Amino acid sequence: MTTPPADAPPPSAPKPARRWLRWLVALLALAAIARVVPLRDRCEAPESPGVRFEASRDGPRCTRHDAGGDRVLPEAQCARLRCEPGVLSTVRRARPERLAALGFLYAVASVTWALRWRALLPLAGLRVPVVAAWRASLEAMAAAALIPTAVSADAARAASMTARGASMSKVLATILLDRLLGFGAILAVAFALVAASAGAPARWRLVLGAALALVAASVVGLSRGWILHLRWLMETRIGRMVAPALEAAAGPGAGPALSRALLWAFAVAAINFGVIRALVSELGGVPRSESAFYLHAAMIFVAVLLPGVPGSWEAAWVFLLGGAGVAPSAALGACVILRLYNWLLAAGGAVSMAWSGSGGRGPPTPHVPPGASR
């Protein structure tokens, strides 16, 4: 990826067929969520089993919502109803102080994410202050909020560091390693949690272990420069394009940088798993087993890497955590709250962009030789 010259033609607009496909996928995802997840409680009375209706509660009282209109039910009748909680009642039961504490913990995770990437930036010849790395990460979250895809976030991170004088190819190498280490840490933490859970099927351990081994092999191959020795690949057009990034990933000091980044990667994964588990618990979600929960939660992080389509992330939460036995309303509620945390951090990133645009970013970061002492 290189910066286009000033006289380069503007990028072509997305094809209409592709735009229609994205909207179709979005509508299907939102329709699936609406069908599975009730907004209000879905209830049935003992005297009319199988006849379900929507109801909303206000303390001991409740209101039945039918096509013909709303009807307030006596308290005694409300107490006998068997209900599946809806999103509104699920979120309403959460304690604000717990949500605030989890939001603070999620903000700490964003700092550790920045520290993970910062540990790799010396490979691109940069020594970046912690605050600057965190600002770049928040600005990446703002970009992802505007264009919901991991690519937009990475593009924003790359732009923030090339503005400091770093080579685009070397910065992209650090971002690629950052992604691989983050994904590997998620798999490792999930593997440890599943392996420690009693009754976890052996096939789950096998799948997580195989995926973890593949990621580990990719990181080792990049840091040792093994891919550079594949002549059949490096002589291709793609090979020539990625060669600078591969050389940066295998440069001096890669080992210590990867070790430091890996420690922060484990911290990010542990905090994220903890926040998701605590959110689901706070909203009344009870998984079938802890091993099933962490296996399916790990799949959510894979879904984050998919192209952003409205409703796709929510659908992933509902169906993946539903596979672990979590009620759809609790899964969607946790997703909405976590997205709110993301938006708050992204708002900070947007303010940072405005501040840097007015000259508040500071002087460029001096280069340091890759592998130099920190």
Q: Residues 304-321: pLDDT tens digits?
A: 655 555 566 777 888 888
The answer to whether residue 35 is domain-embedded is: no
| Partner residues linked to 55 by β-bridges | 41, 64
Please indicate, yes or no, whether residues 192 and 333 belong to a single structural domain of this protein: yes
**Encoding tokens for residue 126?**
């940069």
> What pLDDT sits at residue 279?
92
130 pLDDT above the threshold of 90: yes
349 assigned to some structural domain: yes
Q: What is the pLDDT of residues 65-106, one digit of tens each?
A: 877 778 888 777 787 777 766 666 667 778 889 999 999 999
d(CA 34, CA 40): 11
Structural Rg of the chain based on CA atoms: 24
Q: Tell me, yes or no, whether 46 and 150 share the same domain.
A: no
**Residues in a beta bridge with 58:** 61
Contacts of 319 (CB under 8 A, 6+ apart): 32, 36
CA distance 18 to 358: 37
Q: Are residues 227 and 203 in the same domain?
A: yes
Is residue 110 assigned to a domain?
A: yes
Average pLDDT score over the chain: 76
The model's confidence at residue 28, banded by pLDDT at 50, 70 and 90, is: low
Distance CA 214, CA 218 (A): 6
CB 296 within 8 A of CB 317: no
Report whether pLDDT(22) > 60.
no
Residue 258 belongs to domain spanning = 96-357
pLDDT of residue 318: 83
Token pair of 257 as six digits: 């940088």
Residue type, 371: G
| Cα separations in angstroms, 139 against 148, 159, 250, 336, 349 | 13, 10, 28, 21, 4
Per the structure, the count of domains in the chain is: 2
Asked if residue 6 belongs to a domain, the reply is no
In a domain, 147, yes or no: yes
Cα separation, 160 vs 148, in Å, equals: 19
Does a structural domain hold residue 7? no
pLDDT band at 24 (very low <50, low <70, confident <90, very high): low
Given a cut of 80, whether residue 281 has pLDDT beyond it is: yes
